[in-house]
Amino acid sequence: MIKKQSLIIDAYSSASLLAPEILSFNILCDHLNSRKKIPKLYKNSFRPYDFTSLYESVDSLLNEKKRYDFILGGCDYSTPIVDKLGEVFNIPTRNPLKTTDYRRDKFLMIERLKKVGLAWVNQIKSSSIMEIKTWLLNTNRKYPIVVKPLKSAGTDNVTICMSFEDALMSVNKVLSSENIYKEKNDEALLMEYLGGREFIVDTVSYDGSHLIVAIFQVFKKKGRTPVLDYMLLENFHSSFSKDLIVYSKKILSALELQYGPAHLEIVITPIGPHLIELNPRFHGHLNPYVMNKAFGFNQIRLTAEIYCHRFFPNYINASLKKQKGWVLKALIHSSKRLRLTSRFPWVQFTRLTSYQSSYRWRNLGDYTSPTTSLKSALGMVYLFHREKKIVEQDYKIIRDLENCFFNKHHNIVNYL
């Protein structure tokens, strides 16, 4: 009997844990690296030993003349090639190639919502400074304005601008740099700022039906660079959750994301929920074991189960109603430009009552700079406890330890 075959493209970050789940269903996995240079943030997460074959180019993959039962992508930038290969291999569980850009381009996805009558925000994308100046000088233009790259993540080069001059400076910064995925920013995206409570909604879709698998309320540090402070698991019975669930399903359908995982960023404004952006991938740096503690399942395992069995499992809705505790995910910040000549207090974090795990991106001897995005953070910590007040107390201790460390080392010579 021939075993089923699957292909994962760019199995990095959270997607590095997908192949073991698929293998548990006795389905083989191949891997395709879609680009020659893997972003530094993801290099250490790849697990080559999970795969039957490793391919470094589309041509080398196609030359093998293999057949795949399904294809999944691991990163935002995997989306176009997942959709293209879905057409080439005639994969039944593929998203429409003609609407790929709705799910990858942050400008086009909002324009699509406008076209279908869902809430949208005024915006422009351009490589022309003159065109951007004209848009900014519109007499009805209101500040703040958000400036960011078209195709990035982790608040990379995202700036909240309070003036015309500030916006132009931020646009020039975007256009003169690469995004977090090492892609040249050919255009900048400008959007009117949406005020309100911000949420993350994680989903899995199959055959046009959508499951909401987790909702987090997002808390960001105040300032012109809206870097993540922490996110806290939202109760599915909260006053916000019902609206978020209904709205998220409408977004997924409008953008024709019929199959696979997604990660939506949504703001609830005084006039209702508005999409900031959708990312057709898993929740970044997900700890599936912590989510298992909260619900008994996680986005990665659930995706594998759905694709391998070809239907939604029955236990999901019941599990969501029986949340067993609270997950808090905190980004660890640097407040200074310095070299770490003494150990950061990671060990002290592990002694917290609700501590679960950490991702460490800066260690002894590494350089730090003030954290303005995911890539300039020191790392990330996951907390879980059945009592919400315990994770909130432990989060405050994390911030106290972080502040103490950088205040203690204020005399270290800056490396710039």
Q: Count of CB atoms within 10 A of residue 290's CB?
A: 19
Residue 346: partners with Cβ closer than 8 Å, 6 or more residues away: 358, 360, 379
Which pLDDT value is given to residue 310? 83
DSSP label of 180: T
Give residue 302's Cα distance to chain centre. 17
| Residue 416 pLDDT | 31
Placement of tokens 């041509």 in the chain: 59
For residue 150, the model assigns a pLDDT of 80
Separation of CA 81 from chain center? 19
Hey, how many other C-beta atoms are within 10 angstroms of the C-beta on 330? 24
205 has which bridge partners? Answer: 210, 260
CA distance 350 to 394: 11
Instruction: Give dist(CA 254, CA 413) in Å, integer.
Output: 52
Q: Of 102, 105, 107, which is closest to residue 151 (Cα–Cα)?
A: 105
* DSSP secondary structure string for all residues of 326-346: EEEEEEEP--S-EE--S--TH
Give pLDDT, residue 12.
93
**How far apart are the C-alpha atoms of 121 and 110, rounded to whole Å?**
7
pLDDT for 286 equals: 94
pLDDT of residue 411: 44
Burial per residue of 350-359, b for 16 or more beta-carbon CB atoms within 10 angstroms, e otherwise: eebebbbebb
Taking CA 119 as the corner, what is the angle to CA 196 and CA 93, rounded to the nearest 5 degrees?
110
Q: Where does 137-259 show beta strands of DSSP type E?
A: 145-149, 159-161, 188-192, 197-206, 209-220, 228-233
Position 56 scores a pLDDT of: 93
Is 185 in contact with 175 (CB distance < 8 Å)? yes
Query: By C-alpha distance, which of 263, 225, 293, 275 is closest to 107?
Result: 275
Q: What sign does the dihedral 20-248-218-178 (CA atoms) show?
A: positive
Task: Give the model confidence (pLDDT) of 147-159 as tens digits.
Answer: 988 876 666 788 8
Q: What's the pLDDT score for residue 194? A: 86
Give the C-alpha distances (Å, rounded to integers) separating 402 from 38, 259, 345, 348: 30, 41, 8, 10
Question: Residue 49 gets which letter from DSSP?
Answer: G
What kind and span of H or E run contains 305?
Answer: helix 299-309
| pLDDT number for residue 149 | 87
Residue 369 burial by CB count (10 A; 0-12/13-18/19+): exposed, middle or buried? Answer: middle
Q: Residue 32 — φ and ψ, nearest 5°?
A: -120, 125
> How is residue 166 written in tokens?
């500030």
* Range list of H helices, 255-297: 288-295
- The model's pTM is 0.92
Candidates 249, 264, 261; CA nearest to 118 is 249
Task: Provide the 3-class DSSP secondary structure of residue 214.
Answer: strand
Please give the chain's pLDDT, 416 residues, in tens: 567 899 999 999 999 999 999 999 999 999 999 887 777 777 788 999 999 999 999 999 999 989 999 999 999 889 999 999 999 999 999 999 999 999 999 899 999 999 999 988 889 999 999 999 999 988 678 889 999 888 766 667 888 999 999 999 999 999 888 877 777 888 999 998 888 999 999 999 999 999 999 999 999 988 788 889 999 999 988 888 999 999 999 999 999 999 999 999 999 998 889 999 999 999 999 999 999 999 999 999 999 999 998 888 877 776 677 899 999 999 999 988 888 888 899 999 999 999 999 999 888 888 888 888 888 899 999 999 999 999 999 999 999 999 999 987 644 444 33
